[in-house]
């Protein structure tokens, strides 16, 4: 056995050019069998590290080779965006690509979702990777040859459609990841689920969709997912950088409706009314005290925003009712509960004090949980990100008060959601057009890093769980 080990060590040293350092072992105090076992474990550990290094080099080479194809996919999706639950052309392209890679492919999941299942050549965990597919009702102003000119009807109005949040890049990146990992499936320790999800931005009233619906339809089962990874391009983070945050990274969100009912009157005789417009103004002012006087902002931020007010139709008529719509955002269940209770109390009691009534509905039409990065998983995978992008380019970020329905997956399985730089190098984050705007712009040179990051997260997680 000792001769075999010596030959094996020399072979590994020559092949991978690694040197082996052994701690001093008092072999007189242990048996030869135990010594050989220790040597064998060390050699196997070295062999596993060398194998992982080889796979990482393969990922780098394959991702670099696919760069132009990823850009081409992204531009095609960008030029032909589709709103949530209407991603028919988009999902067709994705399904065809996954089928060409020899995967088991499911279509029509949560209306237009696509799921590809890649079974590796070795036993191991099930890793899910997710990309969202939908565009937004925004008219594009960016002067690029592949700008969207698509128009459709949304909520009864004619609107433009634009990939104004980067979902086109998410799809293109994950398609490349699928191609690379498929070409390496013999070396994969486990199974990969590629989840292409519709309607991350929400759906029209009365419809169901998004991550919540995909979870309900069993996307995390058969086979059962052990961990899920996702990324989001960011137009205000420089290309070449990845940002992350353990724990609450994006806010949980509830929308709200407040309906104030008073008594209508002629505008010339306000004393005959119970004016719901005045009552609504007082409620709005009262809502501003929730964050300023109830949230410990040194620990977690929160947001209470009234985004729309509808009441009345003439200058000289005091209306009977006013409707307010808004959004609540928090990073912990306790803060979320407190926001809901405070909004309800302030609205109903303020109205009551003025002789009116207020009806509060929270959530009114949608609720996203906190996007919560599992702390243990985040810590475990941080070295993988640092090796991929360089430690100086992997940065801890503050909480984001925007929301993501990736959170529905994270409620069921450990998940890690990271942000990928998409702002041109040297750009000013303050001046860079933000997401959900007509001028939203992404530097395509950052896509390759996203491809490498998702590939390496998958491979490294599998290797760790298969030891």
Query: Active-site residue among 82, 87, 132, 134?
Result: 134
Query: Active-site residue among 200, 255, 335, 404?
Result: 200
76 CA to centre of own chain: 22
**Beta strands of 182-226 (E only): which ranges?**
189-197
Question: For 312-342, b where at least 16 C-beta lie within 10 A, e where not — what string?
Answer: beeeeebbbbbebbbbbbbbbeebbebbbeb
Question: What is the Cα–Cα distance from 419 to 422, expressed in whole angstroms?
Answer: 9
Q: Is 404 annotated as a binding residue?
A: no
Q: Are strands 247-250 and 371-373 parallel, antiparallel or unpaired?
A: antiparallel
For the chain, the straight-line distance linking the first and the last C-alpha, in angstroms and rounded, comes to 23
199 CA to centre of own chain: 13
Q: Is 80 annotated as a binding residue?
A: no
Answer yes or no: 134 catalytic: yes
Q: Is 299 annotated as a binding residue?
A: no
Structure tokens at 296: 């410990």
Q: How far lies 431's CA from each of 139, 217, 427, 439, in Å?
A: 20, 41, 8, 11
Answer yes or no: 2 catalytic: no
Backbone angles phi, psi at 331, to 5 degrees: -115, 0
Q: Is 167 annotated as a binding residue?
A: yes
Question: In this structure, what DSSP letter does residue 434 have?
Answer: P
Question: What is the Cα–Cα distance from 72 to 41, expressed in whole angstroms?
Answer: 46
Rg value, the chain, Cα: 27
Alpha helices in 66-150 (DSSP H): 67-79, 88-100
Q: Is 97 annotated as a binding residue?
A: no
Alpha helices in 206-332 (DSSP H): 210-216, 276-294
Question: What is the Cα–Cα distance from 71 to 66, expressed in whole angstroms?
Answer: 9
Question: What is the Cα–Cα distance from 343 to 324, expressed in whole angstroms?
Answer: 12
Question: What is the Cα–Cα distance from 448 to 422, expressed in whole angstroms?
Answer: 11
Annotated catalytic sites, by residue? 134, 200
Q: Residues within the annotated binding site for Mn(2+)?
A: 165, 167, 201, 232, 436
Q: Residues within the annotated binding site?
A: 165, 167, 201, 232, 436
């Amino acid at each position: 056995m000792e001769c075999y080990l010596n030959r094996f060590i020399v072979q590994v040293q020559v092949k991978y050019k690694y040197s082996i350092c052994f701690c001093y072992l008092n072999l007189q105090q242990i048996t030869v069998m135990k010594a050989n076992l220790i040597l064998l474990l060390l050699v196997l550990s070295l062999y596993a590290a060398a194998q992982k290094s080889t796979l990482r080099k393969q990922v780098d080479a394959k991702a670099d080779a696919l760069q132009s194809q990823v850009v081409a996919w992204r531009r095609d999706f960008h030029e032909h965006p589709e709103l949530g639950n209407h991603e028919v052309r988009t999902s067709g392209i994705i399904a065809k690509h996954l089928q060409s890679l020899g995967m088991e492919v499911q279509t029509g999941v949560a209306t237009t979702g696509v799921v590809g299942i890649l079974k590796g050549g070795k036993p191991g965990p099930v890793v899910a990777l997710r990309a969202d597919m939908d565009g937004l009702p925004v008219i594009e102003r960016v002067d690029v040859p592949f700008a969207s000119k698509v128009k459709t009807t949304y909520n009864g109005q004619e609107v433009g459609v634009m990939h104004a949040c980067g979902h086109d890049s998410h799809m293109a990146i994950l398609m490349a990841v699928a191609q690379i990992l498929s070409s390496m499936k013999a070396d994969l320790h486990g199974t990969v689920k590629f989840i292409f999800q519709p309607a991350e931005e929400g759906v029209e009233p009365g419809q169901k969709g998004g991550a919540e619906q995909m979870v309900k339809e069993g996307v995390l089962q058969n086979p059962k997912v052990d961990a899920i990874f996702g990324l989001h391009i960011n137009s205000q983070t420089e290309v070449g950088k990845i940002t992350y945050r353990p724990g609450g990274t994006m806010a949980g969100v509830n929308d709200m409706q407040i309906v104030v009912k008073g008594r209508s009157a002629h505008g010339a005789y306000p004393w005959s009314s119970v004016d719901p417009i005045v009552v609504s103004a007082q409620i709005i002012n009262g809502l501003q005290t929730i964050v300023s006087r109830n949230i410990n902002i040194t620990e977690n931020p929160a947001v209470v925003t009234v985004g729309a007010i509808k009441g009345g139709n003439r200058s000289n008529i005091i209306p009977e009712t006013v409707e307010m719509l808004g959004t609540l955002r928090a990073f912990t269940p306790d803060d979320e509960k407190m926001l809901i209770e405070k909004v309800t109390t302030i609205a109903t009691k303020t109205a009551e004090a003025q002789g009116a009534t207020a009806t509060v509905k929270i959530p009114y039409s949608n609720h996203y949980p906190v996007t919560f990065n599992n702390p243990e998983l985040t810590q475990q995978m941080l070295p993988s990100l640092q090796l991929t992008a360089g430690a100086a380019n992997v940065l801890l970020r503050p909480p984001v008060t925007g929301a993501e329905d990736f959170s529905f997956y994270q409620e069921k399985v450990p998940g890690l959601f990271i942000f990928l730089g998409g702002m041109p190098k040297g750009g000013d984050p303050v001046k860079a057009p933000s997401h959900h705007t007509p001028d939203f712009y992404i530097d395509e040179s950052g896509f390759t890093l996203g491809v490498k990051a998702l590939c390496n997260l998958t491979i490294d997680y599998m290797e760790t769980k298969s030891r």
